[in-house]
Amino acid sequence: TTENSMLSIKNIEVIYDHVILVLKGISLEVPNGGVVALLGANGAGKTTTIKSISNILKTERGEVTKGSIEFEGERVENLSPNDLVKRGVVQVMEGRHCFGHLTVEENLLTGAYTRTDGRKAVADDLEMVYSYFPRLKVRRKSQAGYTSGGEQQMVAVGRAMMAKPKLILLDEPSMGLAPQLVEEIFEIVQTLNQKEGVTFLLAEQNAAIALRYATYGYILENGRVVMDGAASHLASNEDVKEFYLGLS
């Protein structure tokens, strides 16, 4: 583990339903302050990797059967999802997952459920979130279920910010969004990284955009890391261009 490492995963294996081997020894490092992208085709194992970290595999009959996951130098495989949130590891699920019947603001406040630092601190952070997402402030009284896909993704990221995260695990932020909105979401990720010091690990099928915003990338194929490197390095690699960026 390097000194600067926030999250360090070594050789993890994940099995679903006791027999389906899905991750076949994944290792990766997320440096403090980085934006790291997990890339790869549908089914490569990106979501499973993210869920291993947030420890929500059990609900899907999945299990980490080998390897280790360290956050800030401590083993965390046995922590509950809630304890991970308290430590600052917060997942934003694929498909956004807002509470559709709650308002935008109520959704954001649910993100603060593990906090014990008082109403004032939470209220300040709500204003912080609105400063990055002015559209959510305008829509704060609207039922989240009636906001647009882009707004719901913003609610999901804003909700994660309400937990005072150190590391946000962001699963497929571009899913189902028009290119303009995808760009907007990645711009916000970059801003939160730079201004609030939040580290990101994001799973993304759209390698072209992820590599423009990430600092480092890992390419997964069939449950293994097949290539990794600085984002700029990956973006100019001929194989990456051909297979993941649709250029050749």
Q: How far is the CB of 243 from ligand ATP (least distance, A)?
A: 15
Are 29 and 55 in contact, with CB atoms under 8 Å apart?
A: no
Q: Which of 25, 84, 27 is nearest to 54 (CA)?
A: 84
Sole binder of ligand ATP in the list 34, 40, 150, 165 (CB under 6 A): 40
Q: How far is the CB of 185 from ligand ATP (least distance, A)?
A: 17
CA contacts within 13 A on the Cβ side of 221:
6
Q: Which of 243, 240, 215, 207 is nearest to 29 (CA)?
A: 215
Where does the chain have alpha helices with state H? 46-54, 81-87, 104-110, 119-132, 134-138, 149-161, 179-195, 207-213, 231-235, 238-243
Q: 103 or 153, CB closer to ligand ATP?
A: 153
16 binds ligand ATP (CB under 6 A): yes
Reduce the DSSP state of residue 50 to 3 states and report it: helix
Sole binder of ligand ATP in the list 1, 21, 43, 123 (CB under 6 A): 43
- Residues 131 and 182: their CA atoms lie apart, in Å, by 19
Which residue type occupies 135?
Answer: R
Sole binder of ligand ATP in the list 2, 18, 19, 42 (CB under 6 A): 42
| Strands lying side by side in the sheet with 167-171 | 89-92, 167-171, 199-204, 35-39, 216-221, 224-230
Residues 122 to 161: which contact ligand ATP by CB under 6 A?
A: none
Q: 22 or 189, CB closer to ligand ATP?
A: 22
63 binds ligand ATP (CB under 6 A): no
Reduce the DSSP state of residue 140 to 3 states and report it: coil
Sole binder of ligand ATP in the list 34, 39, 47, 209 (CB under 6 A): 47
45 binds ligand ATP (CB under 6 A): yes
Q: Which stretch binds ligand ATP (CB under 6 A): 25-33, 39-47, 191-199, 209-217?
A: 39-47
Sole binder of ligand ATP in the list 12, 46, 139, 225 (CB under 6 A): 46
Q: Which residues bind ligand ATP (CB under 6 A)?
A: 16-17, 20, 22, 40, 42-48, 60, 62, 94, 203, 205
